[in-house]
Copies of this chain bind each other. A is one copy, B any other.
């Protein structure tokens, strides 16, 4: 069986990438998702084992010492990490697996798994991004300005990605993500076994 593929998935806050992933997994439940380990407290609405595995800092450090993470990061006081085994298992089993990660994490993972494909989600315009980040509720101007600055910083690194998807209309953007994932399944590397199978019978 031909191997699966790691799909690195990034986009600034306000790009709507979480909504895209939800719709994507509804339409293609065979696509796997890489669940991160995280040591911070669970927030309202979060569920263990959906986006994150919530573990203690002690456990994280233990796993880290056993080299169980593809990449990890310390943010303020909390660890974030991408468990290595589920990603490598998925690829080995011929499954596609999506890793949602920021531009810095993407940079690290690309070095370890160079044939990963990477997708960056863009807002349709800066005006729309600003509207989305403001529209979130009652955040202070300062907080919004900080988020905007961080979004701009991420977008400036969009050119490190293989593919750019603009999230204007959700269903259209999900179609685009699927074009990328499904086209990759047709790439020569993933079809060589099939070609050989047909040729063997000639």
Contacts and interface: CB of A to CB of B under 8 A. Distances in A.
A187 interface: yes
Nearest to A126: B201
Contacts of A201: 125-127
Nearest to A186: B163
Interface in A118-134: 122-123, 125-127
A174 to B, nearest CB: 13
A186 B199 contact: no
Contact of A179 (B165, B178, B194, B202): B178
Interface in A94-145: 122-123, 125-127
Interface of A: 122-123, 125-127, 152, 155-156, 158-159, 161-166, 176, 178-180, 182-184, 186-188, 191-192, 194-195, 198-199, 201-202
15 contacts: A122-B191, A122-B195, A122-B198, A125-B198, A126-B201, A126-B202, A155-B198, A155-B199, A158-B188, A162-B187, A164-B191, A176-B186, A179-B179, A179-B182, A179-B183
